Structure 1
Amino acid sequence: MDKLWSLFGCWLLVLLHLCPGTTEAQSSKLEFSQRLSVFSNNLYNQLSLLKPEENVVFSPFSIQTCAAMARLGAKKETAAELDRGLGLVSDTKKMAESFHRALSTYKKSTILRIANRIYVMKGFKLRKHFNRLLTKQFYSSAESLDFGNNKKAAASINGWVAKKTNNLIKDVIDPSSLSSASRIVLVNAIHFKGNWVHQFAVKATRSEPFYMKDGKSLKVPMMNIEETFGHAELPELDATALQLPYKDSDLSMLIILPNRKTDLLQLEGKLRSTKLSEITMKLNQTKVMVKLPKFKSEFQMELTDVFKKLGMTRIFLNNADFSGMLQNPQGLQVSSIMHKAFIDVNEHGTEAAAATAIVTSFKSLAISPQPVHFHADHPFVYYILNKDDYVLFAGKLLKPKGDA
């Protein structure tokens, strides 16, 4: 994994020089997108390895945003490890501004809502600089809780998350993860509900076979539509891409489908070294006959092992340095990182939600004349992206679970 990260790092340094005619804001967006894409790929790889037989859905943006808030209070090697593992710029001011730019884009959105919150142990105060950065750049507010009363504190945090995710994400914090030694809980919640620009006709949904990676099939509700979409043949990936846009937004779902029914593993391997922008740049507006299963996926995972595999180990140890967080001179370390996500794809559109919580504790335009076919009748990888290729959600579908 260290070698993989080094490869990406060198690659980015070459690509991100300011080009003639490129504004600083455009360059910053490009850099943020590329770094989030690398982090998304690394996360996807780890989650797939740990959960090889499960549908996976997660929000790279939620996880990176929540961890970036913790990074603002980190110092020295703890901060450097987070920068490397999360793919963040080391300049704290520049990093905070890049997240502010991304968050402010959707501050008034009616279909994508992103919220941050920091909970502090009763009797403790945040450092002014740390609190100011979270409030101004991350639109976060602080609330004092008695973590010693762990059931009440967990209920308060979970209630806030449920409210921000339209009740799709519940119980992200288990009371047992909180105690009188807990000092700070950082939370990010993200909720998306968008309708397709071109909706699938409900009457066109039929029960059709979906072929799983073992070659077996099952009958699933398969949606059907013929319309103009972004489409690309990807011979280097032995796959095909389809982009389904959402109404009244710059968001879309990008589906990458292996050409052969049993080749998802090979596709995943190739995607690790492929930038999503390389794929989206190849999309052409084409008449496409689409078959796409209705599906719902839920995913939950404690991410400590994932963060460690990505090189972020110090944050969990006694020598972690989060001295930029609290006014009180106490050592802090991360005791747990929880992530839950949900997605529902149907004829009308997509509803997706995710939440991430980090608990710190005291130490101890080409139109085709004939439509092409895009039949997603076997496992595929998908993303929900914006026009700048920010990865808000990512996942893979191995076996649809939807309403017949």
Structure 2
Amino acid sequence: MTHFGPLHAQHVAPSKSLNQYAFDLYGELKDANENVFLSPLSTYYALLSAYEGSKNKTKAAFEKVLYLKDSAVSNYDDLYKQETNADSLFGLKISNAIWVDKKFQVETAFKNVVSSKYSSDFKQTNFANTALAVTDINRWVSDKTNQRITDMVNPSDINSETKLMISNAVYFKGEWRTKFEKLRTAQSTFFTDNENQYKVDFMNITENLNYFENESFQFITKPYKDSDLSFCVLLPKTLYGLEAIENNLNAEFFNEILEQTVSTKVWLSIPKIKLETSYKLKSALTNMGLNAVFNNEADFSGILKNEPLTIEQVAHKTYIDINEDYTEAAAATTTNVYIRGLPSFKTFIVDHPFVFFIVDNKTKAMVFMGRYVKPQEGEKIDKAYFARNLERREIRDSGWNSGKEPLLLVADGNELKEVKIDDVDFDNIDSLRVYTKKEDIERYTNEDYYHGIGVIVITPKKNKKIKKK
């Protein structure tokens, strides 16, 4: 059995309803061996906009799926502000629109509440002219996302009977408050599953981050520049333990993790992340309980009094690009090693499938969430090397916790000097090389370090000295 304690929340976050909806939607969209990236906040507001025009059983269905009965309406004030000010947050673009056919006269009250309360656009188009409707929607999305997201919908999403559609687009490119140094980027192995390993570029940094761990997982938050957003990673401690973690995720559990984090010095190593995803949410939302809005039972008389309406589709497209503006060839041949077992120092090596979030620090609203299981730009590793890579990983992880320290050598000019772990300045490392093969180790020492972790050769940054005790 997997254990996920101890976690004890002190209060319920205002965004509990949003975040619980987020985990429900994530559960419908995740696929065992595929990446996921979505914006719960953005889709939530798109559905809230439609909710404002719903009545009777349709309204009740929205309230159940969106957990609207679980929170007082006033709890969403800060979330409304997040949506309203989205364009002013660095790197973040959130755009929603309700599209209704031009031949209909929409209720004024609905138009007013959609634009003022939820910051969604109200747009009209001629759905009977499929090509024109597709052009209208795609142009609007492209304009809203600085041309980063195009082809939001295609002709198969629309037909002559379409009367109502929700479009939803998100673009995010976050600049870190503290950037990764490009010279510390290095290629390493990402272990997707038993059948797939990839060689990818890992970014590396040592900094104080909000951190939590228990026997099952590690969790960190890394803040973005000029915004209240932070990037969070939930990393299983076992190599392929993602499913066990996912099965326990819910809003209360996530809130408890956030409350338990403390500022800790962390060595973080994480792949560059670049994802673009596109979803049609009709099936997922139907499974969650919103089937009434997509069929003849739908009651949107708050939008049109005398014309039956159903939602044809909820389209959702996302794009994220997180990197450190590195030069690709800077440290391509460097092999990384990560130090474990130090009381004041944590290592966070994101080399296997994980869940990630982008969260509003003030409200705890889940702006984005996803799973990263398969690098999109990595080089697939031949199976002949799988066993060797797993052995190296095991040696690395057992490292200092095995009771056998490696031989640490630091370059000082043209010489290599032996140092202790406490003498290493981890903020002043240009490159690390770890040697575990006996023939390599014997180039540096005659002592038997082979059954420990081997020999580590550290090159400090240029013109800086070895840290002295």
The bucket for the TM-score relative to the shorter chain is: 0.7 to 0.9
Normalising by structure 1, report the TM-score. Answer: 0.81
Q: Would the aligned equivalents of 1:113 and 1:190 in 2 still touch at CA under 8 Å?
A: yes
| RMSD of equivalent CA atoms | 2.5
* CA shift digits 1:321-342 (9 cap, x unpaired): 1111025x11111222222222
Q: How is 1:76-225 mapped onto 2 (pairs within 5 angstroms)?
A: 76-89=56-69, 100-106=80-86, 108-214=88-194, 216-225=196-205
Which residue matches 2:259?
Answer: 281
Aligned equivalents of 1:216 and 1:123: distance in 2?
53
173-182 or 72-81, which deviates more: 173-182
Secondary structure (helix, strand or coil) at the match of 1:401 reads coil
Offset from partner CA, 1:260-301 (integer Å, 9 cap, x none): 101111111122475322111111111111110112222222
Q: Aligned to 2:245, which of 267, 283, 290?
A: 267
The one-letter code matched in structure 1 to 2:364 is D
Contact 2:357 2:369 in 1 (8 A): yes
Percent of aligned pairs with the same amino acid: 31
- 1:254 and 1:91 mapped to 2: Cα distance? 25
Paired amino acid for 1:392: V
Cα distance in 2 for partners of 1:370, 1:92 equals 42
Provide structure 2 residue ranges, at least 5 long, that are not aligned to the other structure: 1-8, 327-341, 380-469
Matches within 5 A, 1:391-402: 391-402=366-377
CA distance change for structure 1 residues 54 and 216 in 2, over 3 Å: closer, same or farther? closer
**CA distance, structure 2, for counterparts of residue 143 and residue 234 of structure 1:** 49
Of residues 8, 12, 20, the one that matches 1:38 is 20
Query: Which stretches in structure 1 are left out of the alignment for 5+ residues?
Result: 1-11, 17-29, 350-367
- Report how far residue 216 of structure 1 moved: 4.1
1:378 aligns with 352
Q: Which amino acid aligns with 1:38?
A: Q
Cα drift, residue 369 of structure 1: 6.0
2-structure distance, mates of 1:175, 1:162: 17
Identify the structure with bigger relative contact order (alpha carbons < 8 Å, sequence gap 6+). 1
Mapped partners of 2:50, 2:132: distance in 1: 24
Deviation, 1:94, is 5.4
Question: 2:58 is paired with a residue of what secondary structure?
Answer: helix
Aligned to 2:318: 341
- Matched AA of 2:375: P
Report 1:19-98 matches (<5 A): 30-31=13-14, 33-48=15-30, 51-89=31-69
| Bigger Rg, which one | 2
Alignment CA distance shift 1:206-1:98 (3 Å) = closer
Contact 1:80 1:90 in 2 (8 A): no
Q: For 1:317 and 1:183, how far apart are their aligned partners in 2?
A: 13
Q: Residue 230 of structure 1 contacts residue 286 of structure 1 at CA under 8 Å; is this kept in 2?
A: yes
Where does residue 331 of structure 1 map in the other structure? Answer: 308
CA–CA separation in structure 1 for the residues paired with 2:315 and 2:252: 28
Q: Number of aligned pairs? A: 355
Preserved CA contact (<8 Å) 1:294 1:402: no
Per-residue deviation, 1:89: 4.0
State the match for 1:251 in structure 2: 229
The 3 A distance-change label for structure 1 pair 286 and 92 is closer
